[in-house]
């Protein structure tokens, strides 16, 4: 394969291993990595990186990020607003924007996503459902779980029809305006609606 079809992007100043990324508009959010807690935003147009820092400005274009799993089973949430919009201003910690904080219920009790015996190493998750209230989690060896973000409870556990061990794979939601080959179908019993996801894994 010719290297001419690839474009070399600006390198991050620190090496990252097993990093998890989320696309948000023109930003690729790099949410830490192995033994690296710092998070970064790569601006796809500016071809620049910026470290995520706390922001006290409530942006209508915010996105909520969720981090869970790990050796000691953590569950954290971040309300993210673009660091590029305020890069020339002095930012300070306020309202927990762009800062990882524990996920809590309506009574401020900590929420832990994951059962004690689940190994979430290399897991992937997407949000779906009629009100974007369901968290679909795929993890090794070939498991899928559905967690309700409104009730903070698991509502389904099942296995995927594959002989491969699922780990560090790709798992995405099939949006209406994007034609992606259907590879898995989840039926939400409440509304009798089908939600489609794509799962990719390479041996």
Kindly list the domain boundaries of the chain, sorted by start residue.
Answer: 57-200
How does DSSP assign 56-100, residue by residue?
Answer: ----TT-EEEEEEETTTTEEEEEEE--SSTTTTS-----TTBTS-
145 pLDDT exceeds 90?
yes
106 pLDDT exceeds 90?
no
Residue 67: pLDDT band with limits 50, 70, 90: confident
137 pLDDT exceeds 90?
yes
Q: CA 152, 154, 160, 166: dihedral to nearest 10 degrees?
A: 50
Entry pTM: 0.65
């Amino acid at each position: 394969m010719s290297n001419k079809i690839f474009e070399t992007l600006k390198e991050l100043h620190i090496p990252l291993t097993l990093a998890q990324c989320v696309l948000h508009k023109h930003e690729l959010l790099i949410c830490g990595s192995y033994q690296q807690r710092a998070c970064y935003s790569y601006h796809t147009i500016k071809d620049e990186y910026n470290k995520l820092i706390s922001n006290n400005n409530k942006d209508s274009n915010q996105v909520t990020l969720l981090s869970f799993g790990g050796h000691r089973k953590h569950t954290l949430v971040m309300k993210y607003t673009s660091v590029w919009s305020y890069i020339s201003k002095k930012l300070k910690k306020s309202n927990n924007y762009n800062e990882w904080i524990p996920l809590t219920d309506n009574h401020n009790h900590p929420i832990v996503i994951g059962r004690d015996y689940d190994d979430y190493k290399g897991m992937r998750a997407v949000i779906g459902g009629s009100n974007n209230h369901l968290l679909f989690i795929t993890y090794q060896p070939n498991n899928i779980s559905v967690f309700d973000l409104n009730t903070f409870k698991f509502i389904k556990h099942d296995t995927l029809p594959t002989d491969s061990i699922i780990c560090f794979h790709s798992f995405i939601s099939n949006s209406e305006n994007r034609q992606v080959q259907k590879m898995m179908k989840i039926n939400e019993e409440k509304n009798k609606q089908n939600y489609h996801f794509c799962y990719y894994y390479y041996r």
